[in-house]
Structure 1
Amino acid sequence: MSSAAVTARPTETDVLVVGAGPAGSAAAAWLARAGVDVVLADAATFPRDKTCGDGLTPRAVHELAQLGLEDFLRGRTVNQGLRAHGFGQTLHLPWPGGHLPDWGSAVPRTELDDRLRQVAVDAGAVDVQDARAVDVRMSGSRVAAVVLERRGDGGRAEAERFEIACRRLVVADGVRSPLGKVLGREWHRDTVYGVAGRSYVTSEKHDDPWISSHLELRDEQGQVLSGYGWVFPLGTGEVNLGVGTLATAKRPADIAVKPLMAFYAEQRRAEFGLGEELRMPTSALLPMGGAVSNVAGPNWALIGDAAGCVNPLNGEGIDYGLETGRFVASLLGDLGPDAHGLASAWPALLREHYGEAFSIARRLAGFVTVPWVLPRMGPAGMRSTALMTLALRWMGNLVTEEDRDAAARLWRVAGKGSVRLDDRPPFS
């Protein structure tokens, strides 16, 4: 099937997937491979950009390889681990490997998302672009159809609306999740969330085999911020350069992201041979750690960023998007064509896979938002390669369900204890 949006608009489908980012495309691909009639709809026309650091951890690489994209990634750029900078130290921390690959990558989202969408189309999904989901038509408590809006023709004032009827609905429309809001999704900002910005800039180290993270992120007044800056080589002559900070409702992020990003770039210019222009600077808010409620209904489920599946300790969301796309496809297959039990089964599955890790991660991330924590504890942490190697594994979500070593057991025990202390556990 052509990579272009279909000309004949579908009017009904078994499963409608709204959002063709990593989560939605993965769900559509796995469903189509299982022989399900699936439509993949997105508000944009591909290729399109997405605010992101573009980094792919070994966990994301593992998921992409299952979709048949390992050669695609190896043809872009490969990195062997994290170069952590801060408080007078620089540490090289290789990816730990184990049950996951021992390498990572970085691909601009304009390219990665379009390639993933094509994987779904090649598997048999019907591709509908320039179709923003704006409402639903209900039949009792179930979604009977989704109302989509197509502007086209340069965004003419009179938008065209149409419906696609569906038996089951997967919502993967990103961090703001407008369709999720229609269905009752609520983001709770009392737990930690992220504020991040990214840009592209030419660099003499565009093919560096390490991704770099500066854990001592300072503003122009010299204050240490509760976040980090990054430089991710893309192997294209450019790097993805960005900054991210953590916040809560009690301690909001009082920063201007784009000026902070420009200041960070100036600090790193000589070190990385950066060009002068920061290209395509964008910013975003990120709900993290499953800090959303109403993630499923009788025949619909939220996945990926829409379900708050973003790592509170590093801002990573691509791996969770890919995983939740695969998980929801499998669950829908188990539940059958009417998805009986989805409203309870999907939140339970999310809590099983991510609840404990998200709970302890957002607790630790919330602790970092306390102003004195990083200045006092950062220097001690950066003096220990062993401690930072352990932190990389935990912060990078590189503990798998198959791991049985002491570090993995400690992370799980901490997670179980954290969930018991939560006023609102993840996905509730």
Structure 2
Amino acid sequence: MSSDQPRGEIPESTDVLVVGAGPGGSAAAAYAASAGRHVVLADAAVFPRDKTCGDGLTPRAVAELDGLGLGHLLDGRPRLDGLDLNGWGRSVYVPWPSGRFPAYGSAVARLELDDAIRRLAVERGAQMLGGVKAVDVEMDGAAIGSVLLDDGHGVRPIRVGQVIVADGVRSGLGKVLGRKWHRDTAYGVAARAYVPSARADARVMGSHLELRGPDGELLPGYGWVFPLGTVDSGPLAGLDRAAGDGLLNVGVGALATSKRPAHMALRPILEHYARMVADEWQISGPPVRIASALLPMGGAVSNVAGCNWMLIGDAAACVNPLNGEGIDYALETARLAVERLGADDHTDAWPGLLAGHYGLAFSAARRLAGLLTMPQTVPALGRPGIRSARLMSVVVRVMGNLITADDADLVARAWRSAGRVSTRVDHRPPFA
């Protein structure tokens, strides 16, 4: 165990307790510590630890890392200039659009990314508690007075001023506080693996919109493959050595709702997909470190805040319904939450702020994702769409969360209009 992750050293109190040391939680701890607050960052795991999927960074995530002060982390990492979209016998290359954000993405294994942001928080003054789980709260009127932390040797309370809950998609502490996940809107299931490849220095992210299983059945999902480069150190070092190549992240994702659940065995689908792209991506070995995840999406949760607590990132279902991406949302909501720490009551303001930032896009995207859970819809939309590079550039902009409130072009206005119409007919709008 590293020296900055002690067990049994739970302080009596803290200004800010951040529960969960993924990108969102660690970024929140770093921002809060930089602002001069006493911060405790607690996670049930001891780092470095892995996280399913999530190695790819959109231009918006790249911008957030730079704003956090970790832009140098991407030095020597893959520079992904665009996406190679495939399906129905067609392939179209779409560069990341230029504008407010960098015109490139990147990739860092979550084993490294999460630990790097966590270490930044510690360097800025946050106290890290690794192997410590938040299990319950003690209320002081409408506010959380103390959070009960289990360090493996017993449960101890820590008095808190503010609590930022960033404990992931299942959000154990969020459930204690009343967080509910509503599966009637689209959610995702995904699996990820690593494979050795001679194309680990490619500057493109591959995406296959026509995903088929080993039996040829069309599935309501997509496949992806992108480079991680040569891994010389860390927990992934050596996975690419047998062939002398670098590593690719390869994975599959599927969409589902409570009415149309995803009854799919992801591992054989992923292995089949890896074989399908093996020649194109010069894959020289079988998938390893296969892991899967379940993803609430599009703000499909309620009770995301109280008097002195806020849920951020995956815990607040801030995940793109069209591609399962969540790192940029995690980093952004961390920053926004810390900006609110001086406020008196977050109960209504925080879900309102999240809805203001993401509600229109989430509503429209999850409605479209719901349509894509019907296999017959996939070719109806995908076959004509893949034939138009201009339309695919719009898709990339939407999927990459690259439309901002300041954008006034036709695509941005149309997407916001679709969101307004969708929100009006939502029986449960995002974060409600």
Asked whether the two chains share a fold, i.e. TM above 0.5, the reply is yes
Contact 1:3-1:118 within 8 A present in 2 as well: no
The one-character-per-residue Cα deviations of 1:107-142 (angstroms, maximum 9, x if unpaired) are: 000000000011111111111111011111122222
The one-character-per-residue Cα deviations of 1:268-291 (angstroms, maximum 9, x if unpaired) are: 112212133211101011000000
Match of 2:196 in 1: 202
CA apart distance, 1:407? 0.8
Secondary structure, counterpart of 2:322 in structure 1: coil
Residue 264 of structure 2, aligned match among 241, 255, 274: 255
Q: Residues 5-404 of structure 1: matches in 2 within 5 Å?
A: 5-6=5-6, 8-151=9-152, 159-236=153-230, 237-333=246-342, 335=343, 340-404=344-408
Contact 2:45-2:130 within 8 A present in 1 as well: yes
Contact 2:77-2:108 within 8 A present in 1 as well: yes
Gaps of 5+ in 2: 231-245
Match of 1:154 in 2: none
CA apart distance, 1:9? 3.1
TM-score of the pair, normalised by structure 1: 0.95
Deviates more, 1:417-426 or 1:269-278: 269-278
Deviates more, 1:284-293 or 1:253-262: 253-262
Secondary structure, counterpart of 2:360 in structure 1: helix
Counterpart CA distance in 2 for 1:207 and 1:343 is 46
Secondary structure, counterpart of 1:221 in structure 2: coil
Secondary structure, counterpart of 1:261 in structure 2: helix
CA apart distance, 1:26? 1.1
Contact 1:53-1:242 within 8 A present in 2 as well: no
Secondary structure, counterpart of 1:342 in structure 2: coil
Contact 1:50-1:109 within 8 A present in 2 as well: yes
Partner amino acid, structure 1, of 2:261:
P
Match of 2:238 in 1: none
Deviates more, 1:171-180 or 1:264-273: 264-273
The one-character-per-residue Cα deviations of 1:264-320 (angstroms, maximum 9, x if unpaired) are: 111111221213321110101100000000000111110000000000011000000
Counterpart CA distance in 2 for 1:351 and 1:268 is 39
Match of 2:239 in 1: none
Contact 2:54-2:327 within 8 A present in 1 as well: no
Q: Does 1:405 align with 2:399?
A: no
Secondary structure, counterpart of 1:415 in structure 2: helix
Contact 1:40-1:126 within 8 A present in 2 as well: yes
Partner amino acid, structure 1, of 2:430:
P
CA apart distance, 1:150? 2.0
CA apart distance, 1:6? 4.3
Counterpart CA distance in 2 for 1:289 and 1:356 is 10
Counterpart CA distance in 2 for 1:145 and 1:77 is 43
Contact 1:99-1:403 within 8 A present in 2 as well: no
Contact 1:247-1:369 within 8 A present in 2 as well: yes
TM-score of the pair, normalised by structure 2: 0.94
Contact 2:214-2:268 within 8 A present in 1 as well: no
Secondary structure, counterpart of 2:370 in structure 1: helix
Contact 1:23-1:318 within 8 A present in 2 as well: yes
The one-character-per-residue Cα deviations of 1:382-404 (angstroms, maximum 9, x if unpaired) are: 11000001111012111122211
Counterpart CA distance in 2 for 1:3 and 1:253 is 42
CA apart distance, 1:53? 3.4
> Which aligned runs of 4 or more in structure 1 are off by greater than 4 angstroms?
none
Contact 1:313-1:396 within 8 A present in 2 as well: no
CA apart distance, 1:3? 6.2
Partner amino acid, structure 2, of 1:327:
L
Secondary structure, counterpart of 1:23 in structure 2: helix
Counterpart CA distance in 2 for 1:6 and 1:76 is 31
Partner amino acid, structure 2, of 1:173:
D
Partner amino acid, structure 2, of 1:209:
R
The one-character-per-residue Cα deviations of 1:66-114 (angstroms, maximum 9, x if unpaired) are: 0111121132221101111111111111000211111100000000000
Counterpart CA distance in 2 for 1:262 and 1:141 is 50
Contact 2:10-2:156 within 8 A present in 1 as well: no
CA apart distance, 1:216? 0.7
Secondary structure, counterpart of 1:272 in structure 2: coil
Paired residues, what number? Answer: 415
CA apart distance, 1:377? 2.4
Partner amino acid, structure 1, of 2:74:
L
Partner amino acid, structure 1, of 2:171:
S
CA apart distance, 1:417? 1.1
Secondary structure, counterpart of 2:157 in structure 1: strand
Secondary structure, counterpart of 1:170 in structure 2: strand
Partner amino acid, structure 2, of 1:311:
N
